[in-house]
Structure 1
Amino acid sequence: MKTLKCIFFIFLSGFAIATSSAQNKSLEPGFTSLFNGKDLDGWVGNKESYRTENGMIVIDPQGGGGGNLYTEKEYGNFILHFEFQLTPGANNGLGIHAPLEGDAAYVGKELQILDNRAKKYAELQTYQYHGSVYGVIPARRGFLKPVGEWNQQTVIVNHPKIKVILNGTTILEGDYLEASKDGTLDHKEHPGLERSSGHIGFLGHGDVVHFRNIRIKEL
């Protein structure tokens, strides 16, 4: 009987070690998590429309615009990994190098998060589709997973260069200062293109979107 108990204890110990090892491997070397999976510690902004649920950050504006949720910390050059799940027709954005006030698409930079396949978006400008630097650099289309499935996205920023990888495919790579030197595609002023650091945030536009596994490596 004692032998069986000993074997069972060794089995449990080994299982715990293996589980712990797997969890540690989930966070790549040099990366830190921006979301603890439980609450919005480390984030500032609209904590009413944004909530935590089952290890996710969920934006659920319930008829409102949703507002923005930003990291407390500011970041300059970085590699950002995150996963997102769209709902039909969903529109959101990833703000980078943003201050806490003003429209991040202009006073910082906004990377579109959008259900490209929705009929209501069929006539958008090229710089408005998913992954684009809004108003400045258009992204390639056709690499989003069907609505309801999880997408994996990596954003690499080394001011003024930027690269966006969606589900393993590079959909955008460029220099936003070079791209805007003769004027932006939306013909508007984007003073935030000059910013080399700021907050990272999710920019609500009235739709439900889920986020998880948000982690960053500073360069």
Structure 2
Amino acid sequence: MMKYPKHLVFLLVAVCFSLPVSPSLAQSNGYEMLFDGSSVEKWRSKQSSSFPEKGWKVADGQLFLDSKGGGDIITREKFSDFELVFEFNLTAGANSGIKYFVDTIYNEKTGKMMVNGPEYQIIDDFNYPGIKEDPNGLSSTAAAYLFYPPKNKTLRPHGEWNTGKIVARGNKVTHWLNGKKVVTYQRGSRDFLNKKQENKFKDDARYGELEEGHILLTDHGDKVYFRNIKIKKP
């Protein structure tokens, strides 16, 4: 049996572990890549059927907002039950987020109307202006924005990668951050609806009540990097 020098074996192992997960491997594990580091074919502008020509940029395997005016982007596909996994890297003082169960529905009075959805908040907890004015953590990273604060979370500072996860099963939703479950709630529950009446979404028609919807990346004018966005259906 041929023997190899130990330093060569260690080098080969290191290279294997450093290689990015390929779309085919992710799919074989039950995940579908929504962003694989290069293609944005599964995303479009919230306002049109095409991907924004400005604002959003892909470079070095990352998707990020490079300048203002790109607008929110949404997945072309709608999802009901899902497990969404993503990595994000904040810049200093940045604010962003991922919304889910959003869709465009027809309104007899106004025509088409965008239905907003719950948001996994992504923000620089350490440097964002005004974050100290939110002692309850309802607008901190991994919160169900303005509804439920994260508990026992560990957020890495700007410049470092974090891993988020959103799991939706029926009306039950959980948020995860760096391997820890930090939020659990029930869409449409009495508690959820009571909290909705107490925040700015009280007049949003069917907020968080759709059976399926798009995944949305927000444009708040700040640069936040995303990579390895993938989703698994039951």
What's the TM-score once normalised by structure 2's chain length?
A: 0.75
Partner Cα separation in structure 1 for residue 173 and residue 139 of structure 2: 17
Segments of 4+ moved more than 6 angstroms: 101-104
Partner in structure 1 of residue 193 of structure 2: 181
Q: Distance in 2 between matches of 1:109 and 1:84?
A: 18
What does residue 213 of structure 1 align with?
Answer: 228
- Conserved in 1, the CA contact under 8 Å of 2:187 and 2:209? no
Identity of aligned residues (%): 27
The number of aligned residues is: 201
Q: Is the 8 A contact 2:92 2:128 kept in 1?
A: no
Cα deviation for residue 181 of structure 1 reads 3.4
Separation (CA, whole Å) in 2 of partners of 1:168 and 1:109 = 21
Q: CA deviation at 1:171?
A: 1.2
Deviation, structure 1 residue 39: 2.8
Contact persistence 1:70–1:100 (CA under 8 A):
no
For residues 1-219 of structure 1, the aligned pairs below 5 Å read 23=22, 25=25, 29-45=29-45, 46-61=52-67, 64=68, 66-99=70-103, 107-118=116-127, 120=129, 121-124=131-134, 126-140=137-151, 142-178=153-189, 179-184=191-196, 185-186=198-199, 188-189=201-202, 190=204, 191-219=206-234
After superposition, the CA RMSD in angstroms is: 2.9
* Structure 1 residue 151 displacement after superposition: 0.3
Unaligned runs of 5+ in 2: 1-11, 46-51, 106-111
Question: Could you tell which deviates more after superposition, 133-142 or 195-204?
Answer: 133-142
Normalized per residue, the structure richer in helix is 1
Q: Secondary structure at the match of 2:133?
A: coil
SS state at 1:75 partner: coil
Q: TM-score, structure 1 length as denominator?
A: 0.80
* Structure 1, unpaired ranges of 5+: 1-14
